[in-house]
Structure 1
């Protein structure tokens, strides 16, 4: 089902629909502790990232598709292919400590912006899972989409 849905995911209509569904996805992920989001119906893995607003200092939550790699979670700051980076990515750069709700548990993480070959490796892994990211990169034009590894904090 995910592969069928991925074709629609490349369209600008999907970006409009996706933006509209973010609030519902955020609520579902919050209530379920990261067990269930909007994308689960079509087989997409989604986590709820909580960052600290760089201006407000308040918690900010965003649902993100992810792929597990190197013991952490790889997330992409595509902003649906928009010209600007998403606010959550700027928040994570300003304050790398964050929390993810995934699979029914809260995990403290540190976000690390990936560059070079490591960025490309992780981009390829996520784009293989959700091919629409390649289309988002085309639409983003003059910005390199940010790729983060959210690494669990040892206790």
Structure 2
């Protein structure tokens, strides 16, 4: 099944370079800021959807944030994971299947702080919205 990449122009271009170079271009998006590619199954369409996300490692797991820049609704990729928690992940050239879960209250604060270390704008995004921005843990299967 063909994968549909993010319709957002600059994200689409970022994904294209990442895929074409097996992560040699795009894994390090900005100095010290690394991204992964997340492919989810569309909850309505059933189509595979891919986006690029900033991540941090937490032990063997990968952590991402469903910020959508502080918009009032969750991003589509997060809603897709709520419907089907299985995803494909690419970190640089490493491709694997993952189980996704939203960080619970006991770990969210620690992981939120971890993610804000690499991308401090997450705190600004949280101020823009009434929803609690989810922190997602991707566990390799």
State if a TM-score over 0.5 links the two structures.
Answer: yes
Q: 1 or 2, which has the higher strand percentage?
A: 2
Structure 2 distance, partners of 1:133, 1:115, is: 18
| Structure 1 runs, 4 residues or longer, greater than 6 Å off | none
State the SS of the aligned residue for 1:45. Answer: strand
Q: What RMSD over aligned residues (CA atoms) do the two structures have, in Å?
A: 1.5
Asked whether 1:70 is paired with 2:54, we answer: no
1:93-134: CA deviations, max 9, x gaps? 111110111121211100011120211111110011111110
Q: How far did residue 39 of structure 1 move? A: 5.3
Structure 1 distance, partners of 2:23, 2:96, is: 10
Structure 2 distance, partners of 1:98, 1:38, is: 18
Structure 2 distance, partners of 1:150, 1:35, is: 22
Q: How far did residue 33 of structure 1 move? A: 2.7
Aligned residue runs from structure 1 range 1-155, under 5 A: 20-37=9-26, 40-140=29-129, 142-153=130-141
State the SS of the aligned residue for 2:17. Answer: helix
Structure 1 distance, partners of 2:118, 2:32, is: 11
Structure 1: stretches of 5+ with no match in the other structure: 1-18
The TM-score, its normalising length taken from structure 2, stands at: 0.88
The TM-score, its normalising length taken from structure 1, stands at: 0.81
